């Protein structure tokens, strides 16, 4: 299981059902792709995220019908600073794909997936709580884990591990 270099060429990865389907739908919405350590990652234009997810969920060849996880990575001080990460699972096809959107630090916001999967609710609230990313269209965008009156977003890289004293 030695490591092999990641493949980032779109042409080579066309064969993957999710990549093929998204490219056929809207070439401009797919920013980047990467196949590394047996896992497929697709970077999507934030404005097109919801449509792309709906497509992957409802397409018979993809059938990514289960939203496993939503999380975020903070690349401070680089810009675009945030990457929101979505892990989709296809229960019929036993296949996974990872979708990512890049967000600037100015006012990070992306469309909520709660209309597609109501289960995104807690995951998105957690990301909002710990990273300060807003999910537009979310029914209840409040803190989930931290107290309501907490200041700052603890999982950001410029937040000290011990907290502010």
Partner 1 sequence: MAHLAPTPVLEPGQDRTMILNMGPQHPSTHGVLRVLLEIDGETIVRIMPDIGFLHTGIEKTCEAKFYQQVVPLTDRIDYLCPLTNNLCYALAVEKLLGLEIPPKAQWLRVLLNELTRINSHLVWLGTHAMDIGALTVFLYCFREREEVLNMFEMVSGQRMMTSYFRVGGIALEPPLEFFERVREFAGRFPEKVDEYENLLTGNPIWMMRTKGVARLSAEDAIALGASGPTLRGSGVDIDLRRDMPYSGYENFKFKVPVAQEGDVFARYMCRVRELRESNEIVKQALDGMPEGRIKADAPGVVLPDREKMKTEMEALIYHFKIITEGFAVPAGEVYQAVESPRGEMGYYIVSDGTAKPYRVHMRAACLANLQTLPKMCEGGLIADVVAAIGSIDIVLGEIDR
CB of 32 to partner 1, least distance (A): 13
d(CA 2, CA 164): 42
Taking the least distance from each CB to partner 1, the nearer of 9 and 69 is 69
Beta-carbon contacts of residue 61 (< 8 Å; ≥ 6 apart)? 17, 21
Question: Of 25 and 159, which CB lies nearer to partner 1 in the complex structure?
Answer: 159
Q: How far is the CB of 24 from partner 1 (least distance, A)?
A: 26
* Interface residues toward partner 1, by CB under 8 A: 1-3, 6, 36-37, 39, 41, 65-69, 71, 73-74, 85, 87, 89, 91, 94, 96, 98, 117-123, 126, 130, 142-149, 154-155, 159, 161
Specify the residue for token string 């401070």. 76
Q: Is 67 exposed, middle or buried (0-12, 13-18, 19+ CB in 10 A)?
A: buried
Reading the block at residue 75, the tokens are 């690349």
**By C-beta, is 71 or 105 nearer to partner 1?**
71
């Amino acid at each position: 299981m030695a490591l092999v270099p990641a493949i980032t060429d779109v042409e080579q990865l066309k064969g993957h059902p999710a990549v093929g389907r998204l490219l056929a739908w809207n070439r401009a919405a797919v920013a980047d792709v990467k196949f590394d350590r047996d896992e497929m990652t697709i970077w999507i234009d934030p404005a097109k995220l919801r449509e792309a997810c709906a497509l992957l969920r409802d397409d018979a060849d993809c059938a990514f019908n289960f939203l496993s996880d939503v999380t975020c990575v903070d690349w401070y001080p680089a810009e675009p600073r945030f990457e929101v990460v979505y892990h989709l699972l296809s229960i019929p096809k036993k296949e996974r794909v990872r979708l990512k959107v890049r967000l600037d630090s100015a006012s990070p916001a992306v469309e909520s997936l709660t209309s597609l999967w109501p289960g995104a609710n807690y995951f998105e609230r957690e990301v909002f709580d710990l990273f300060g990313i807003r999910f537009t269209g979310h029914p209840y965008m409040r803190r989930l884990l931290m107290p309501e009156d907490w200041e700052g977003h603890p999982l950001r890289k410029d937040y000290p591990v011990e907290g502010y004293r």
